[in-house]
Amino acid sequence: MQVAIVGAGTMGADIAQAVALGGDAIILHDIHEHTLRQALGRISRGIDRGVSLGKIDPVIARRAKRVFTLCTDLARCAAADLVIEAVPDDLDVKQTVLRALDDIVRPDAILATSTNVLSLTVLAAATRLPERVVGLHFFKPAAIMRLVEVVRGDLTRQDAIDGAVALAQRMHKTPIVVRDAPGLIVNRIAQAYFGEALGLLDEGGLDAPAVDRLMEAAGFPMGPFRLLDFVGIDSAFDAAQTLFEATYHTAPYRPHPRLRRMIDAGLTGRKNGRGFYSDG
């Protein structure tokens, strides 16, 4: 299968790495040539790291590095069987990209969006063939995390879902088909997880490390505050704000004021080494 990925930022590059290791040919598009070169370097280093850790077969690694075509001209995506747009989570930007792809790719090609906060049905409505639009929500880092939420919009055809599921399986991911809904499944649960943990801090008696130790001892891979630092406190706040508005101000998804204060103070988590934990 020929897979096109539009947007070569961190998420796009990580998705491209996983697709390459699954054996599909890739057209990697970005409007900036230097972004494409940076993405290819990131992908190569990620594959090499997997080989050094014994997680990637060297033969597969060598093959994966040879499947890329880089381009700044969106028209080069016309040959793709499936296109994944991985541009920033801005409604206007994503709709513009999907409209442009709708005019370029074959009618039988699948259009996928990587959004985790915007409505798939609303995005698909920007195209002439909304029934071929599907969501592929990857989790950071997408090159490593196995779960993929395959999102069915109100008009998505079953063959589009089947094609997206098959791609995820070739990437050695675990695809779970979900319906289009605010926050999907994982983000919806995560926001409630964060909200309850932040409420415990407000009540006093427990600090962030104590809550994390308790949850990790209970079997969670990462406590809520380590996870907030990992995903980015600003990203978590924005996701909560979007979910709160999309669910008509449902109380459990209300963004916590502590997160807003931390963002204003420049505490955004691992991305700058200052959050609930500090890198020094």
Reported confidence tier of residue 111, pLDDT bands at 50, 70, 90: very high
Cα–Cα distance between 274 and 166 in angstroms, integer?
40
Residues 221, 166 share a domain: no
Residues 206, 175 share a domain: no
Q: Is residue 269 part of a domain?
A: no
Reported confidence tier of residue 79, pLDDT bands at 50, 70, 90: very high
Cα–Cα distance between 27 and 6 in angstroms, integer?
8
Query: Which distant-in-sequence residues (6+ apart) come within 8 Å of 86 by Cβ?
Result: 5, 6, 7, 8, 9, 11, 12, 15, 114
Q: Which of 32-36, 184-188, 211-215, 276-280 has the lowest mean pLDDT?
A: 276-280
Q: What are phi and psi of 127, to 5 degrees?
A: -105, 165
Measured CA distances, 103 to 20, 33, 99, 126 (Å): 26, 23, 7, 12
Q: What is the CATH number of the domain that holds 34?
A: 3.40.50.720
Reported confidence tier of residue 204, pLDDT bands at 50, 70, 90: confident
Q: Is residue 277 part of a domain?
A: no
Quick check: 122 and 154 in contact, CB under 8 A? no
Residues 201, 157 share a domain: no
Q: Is residue 157 part of a domain?
A: yes
Q: What is the rounded average pLDDT of the residues 173-187? A: 93
Residues 211, 95 share a domain: no
In this model, does residue 250 exceed pLDDT 90? no
Q: Is residue 274 part of a domain?
A: no
Residue span of the structural domain in which 118 resides = 2-179
Residues 110, 249 share a domain: no
Name the strands in the sheet holding 147-152, side by side, starting at the edge strand that comes first in the sequence.
Answer: 68-71, 25-29, 2-6, 82-85, 110-113, 133-138, 147-152, 174-179
Q: Is residue 276 part of a domain?
A: no
Residues 215, 149 share a domain: no
Q: Is residue 272 part of a domain?
A: no
Residue 251 CB-half CA count within 13 A: 2
Q: What is the CATH number of the domain that holds 202?
A: 1.10.1040.50
In this model, does residue 96 exceed pLDDT 90? yes
Residues 212, 123 share a domain: no
Measured CA distances, 46 to 32, 53, 57, 156, 171 (Å): 21, 11, 13, 33, 15
137 is catalytic: yes
Reported confidence tier of residue 242, pLDDT bands at 50, 70, 90: confident
Q: Is residue 280 part of a domain?
A: no
Amino acid (1-letter code) at residue 279: D
Please tell me the total count of domains within the chain.
2
Residues 202, 155 share a domain: no
Residues 159, 85 share a domain: yes
pLDDT tens digits, 4-56: 999 999 999 999 999 999 999 999 999 999 999 999 999 999 999 999 999 99
DSSP three-state, residue 252:
helix
Mean pLDDT for all residues in the chain: 94
- Selected catalytic residue, list 32, 137, 249, 256: 137
Residues 141, 90 share a domain: yes
| Predicted TM-score of the model (pTM) | 0.88
Look at residue 117 in the predicted model and tell me its pLDDT: 82
Residues 129, 56 share a domain: yes
Nearest one of 209, 276, 271, 211 to 235, comparing CA atoms: 271
Reported confidence tier of residue 278, pLDDT bands at 50, 70, 90: confident
Residues 243, 150 share a domain: no
Q: Is residue 275 part of a domain?
A: no
